[in-house]
Amino acid sequence: MANEWIGGVGVLLGAITTGIFSIVTRKNQFEEEKEKMLLESNIALNKEKLYKLSSHKEELFNLLQNLSFGFSTTQNYRMEQAGASFKEYDMHYEKMNQFVLRAELLAHLYFPEVFEEVKKVCELTNLIWGQQQNYFGYAKEMNLNRQEILNNIVRDSSDLQRKCSLIMNKLSSSNF
């Protein structure tokens, strides 16, 4: 009977050991699976963030291109040759101002590294708008020196284009 008792205890200990080993193995598998799912979830989130950031970078780049052209001397010349009125230039500025506001927002939220530079571009657009208001409207009415105003527009438009190009180059060569 002692042998049976020892055999029974041995079987019982074997079952308990197997049960404990099974529980530990399942717990480890569960933890590994949980960690794997968390890692996959983080990878998916990072991919989504990179995609959104890339989309915002492309949008900011496009806005800067539109601003650069919208306030260029070429655009100014085309508007003058088309006989643009004061009101038509104001409508053009309003459209450009929407680009300015969106560019500033994107830079502020997603690209703080270029925010101050974008802000300077935005300030230049307001300066150029005022000069073009003088050129297209007030200069005629108030007998102002249109050539001097035009020289200021050319200077500031060139500065705006240079600033836009520098920001676009930063965006292109960066890993934001």
More confident residue, 98 or 40: 98
Q: Give the alpha-carbon dihedral of 58, 59, 63, 64, to 10 degrees.
A: -30
Residue with tokens 């038509």: 88
Q: Is residue 56 part of a domain?
A: yes
The domain that holds 98 is classified in CATH as 1.20.120
> Is 112 a member of any domain?
yes
Give the model's confidence band at 42: pLDDT under 50 very low, under 70 low, under 90 confident, else very high. low
- pTM of this prediction exceeds 0.75: no
Q: Please check whether residue 73 lies inside any domain of the structure.
A: yes
2-70 and 86-110 are packed helices; what angle lies between their axes, rounded to 10 degrees?
Answer: 160
- Rounded CA gap, 56 and 103, in Å? 10
pLDDT in tens, 18-38: 777 777 777 777 777 767 776
Residue 128 lies in a domain: yes
Q: What's the number of domains the chain is made of?
A: 1
User: Is 59 inside a domain boundary?
Assistant: yes
Within-domain flag for 110 = yes
Give me the mean pLDDT over the 99-115 stretch. Answer: 96
What DSSP line would sit under 91-151, residue for residue?
HHHHHHHHHHHHHHHHHHHH-GGGHHHHHHHHHHHHHHHHHHHIIIIIHHHHT--HHHHHH
> What's the CA angle centered on 163, arms 159 and 165, to 5 degrees?
115
In a domain, 23, yes or no: no
Query: Exposed (0-12), middle (13-18) or buried (19+): which is 104, by Cβ within 10 Å?
Result: middle
**Beta-strand (E) ranges in 8-137?**
none
Tell whether 27 is covered by a domain.
no
Say if residue 3's pLDDT is above 70. Answer: no
Q: Which domain holds residue 122?
A: 52-173
